[in-house]
Amino acid sequence: TIFNYNKDMYTEFMPKFKAKRKTLMLNYRIGSTGKTEWTKNWDSYGFLSSMLRDEFLRIYPDAKDKCFVQPPPTDLEDFFKIQPIYEGNLRIMCLNSQGDAKHRKDIHSIMKKIWEINEGTEFFFMPAPSFLPPQDERIHCHAKNQPPVPIYLAQGNLFMYLPPVGFTDQGPRTVIEAHACGLPAICDKRTGGPNDRITSKTGWLIDKIDDLYPIIKEITKKSSILKERGEAARVRAKEFFVKE
């Protein structure tokens, strides 16, 4: 991971780096790529989302024919084995890898508004934010990777990815993992990565948090939509999965 592209260790070594083919993978931030001299004229540039690619091309348009977008590499075989249960309470899965850093501070207010629409909604966190209220039987908290992610996701029927405002995670792997389990997803489109994963057939992309509540109302009135979009989500995940 490179945070300072102008450090001597990069500016001195990278121009001398020789290979038959050089690919620069940009996972989460553009940084000084396309501006710093040693980042130019690579054979190809890889991105986890089209949003990140487009940002790069505004800086370095000469690379237009050298760019490709691919999802985060992950083995989905165990996720495809999951048989989701769409019936019963609405069960929202909130999975992230960084605890408090990826949870909105107003998450409990959001949960309370969802409960006003659908009182029986359950929330499953892995890991849970430290600022959740005292235990509620509708809130289920798991330690990171306990149980394994596929088993954790098997408990739900809807995946929700709503990181804090301003958080630009360009390629959340968890979205495609949830889709592979057969879960439709609700995601904040401003994070970038989900834009390339989710379609109107596999979930919902929202511009602002107020867009979330009509979706919950829609699901509450027509719960069969979870299965419809969940089955399409699994098909979508298979489009991204290359076994090799």
* Domains of the chain (ranges, CATH numbers): 8-69 (no CATH), 77-240 (3.40.50.2000)
> Could you please report the per-residue DSSP string of 196-217?
GT--TTTEEEESSGGGHHHHHH
Burial 166-201, CB ≥16 within 10 A → b, else e:
eeebbbbbbbbbbbbbbbbbbbbbbbbbbbbbbeee
Give the pLDDT score at 209: 93
Q: How many CA atoms lie within 13 Å of 94's alpha carbon, on the beta-carbon side? A: 27
Give the pLDDT score at 70: 74
Instruction: Describe the chain by its helix, strand, coil percentages, rounded to 5.
Output: 40, 15, 45
**pTM across the whole model:** 0.76
Alpha-carbon gap, residue 243 to 239, rounded angstroms: 11
The tens-digit pLDDT sequence of the chain (244 residues) is: 565 677 877 888 888 888 889 998 887 677 788 888 888 999 999 887 777 888 899 999 999 999 988 766 678 899 999 999 999 999 999 987 776 777 888 999 999 999 999 999 999 999 888 888 767 899 999 988 889 999 999 999 999 988 887 665 555 678 889 999 999 999 887 765 566 678 889 999 998 999 999 999 999 999 999 999 999 999 998 887 655 5
Give the pLDDT score at 148: 93
Give the pLDDT score at 71: 64
Give the pLDDT score at 172: 65
Give the pLDDT score at 47: 83
Give the pLDDT score at 191: 63
